[in-house]
Amino acid sequence: MSSTPVAILAPSKPTQILVGCHAEVYNPRDILYGRLPRFRLSDEGIRQAKATGLFLAARPVAAIYSSPLLRARQTAHILSDYHRGLRVHFAGDLLEVLSGYQGSPNTILTPGFSFFEPLKCPADETMADVWLRMARFLDRVSRRHTGETIVAVSHADPITIMRVGLLGLPLTAAQLHGAVYPARASVNQITLSPREPMSLAYFDVNDEGKTS
């Protein structure tokens, strides 16, 4: 299935949306935490988030958005410390994928495993569902913050699906496995301009600034 076309506003002024992945999580049981509550950042995660905060410190960030889940909120609040303590706004469209696999041991993540093909439960989100809500968020904030730079903190799978969708690639497990999978506390930079095509850059902040 190809990614569903989604209209994202071409702003009247260059606009940047910096979509960060939350930092490392304290997970002693080594489970797929999904949308389960009370999964906080580890000590290493706090360090990672601070490194990303320093990486973004020189950017003229106008607003910070976050998934409502604790690990994302904590990451976003650390990032806000580097931008005059900007208030963090919560956005449900940035949530982790809704999946019946949450709570399962991470040992199920064998080569070729997919949350989406097949879905575990009828209520689980499809890749198309996730792409539509991530695109909805991008469109909304590009309208609200035209000409500005904003930060959004989400989760690895939604960010990967967002990348696949933005590139117009098929929404399949194979395509997802072949995409750039965001490291903890990494940043995807989306630049929207009135006269130029959308550009997409990736920064693995905690791996010596590796980019792609």
pLDDT in tens, the chain (212 residues): 555 556 676 788 899 999 999 999 999 999 999 999 999 999 999 999 999 999 999 999 999 999 999 999 999 999 999 998 899 999 999 999 999 999 999 999 999 899 999 999 999 999 999 999 999 999 999 999 999 999 999 999 999 999 999 999 999 999 998 999 999 999 999 999 888 889 999 999 998 445 55
Q: Is 39 exposed, middle or buried (0-12, 13-18, 19+ CB in 10 A)?
A: buried
Integer Cα distance of 19 and 114 in angstroms: 23
- What is the separation, in whole angstroms, between the first and last Cα of the chain? 26
Q: Which two tokens stand for residue 192?
A: 């929207």
Whole-prediction pTM: 0.94
Taken in order of first residue, the domains within the chain and their CATH numbers are: 15-211 (3.40.50.1240)
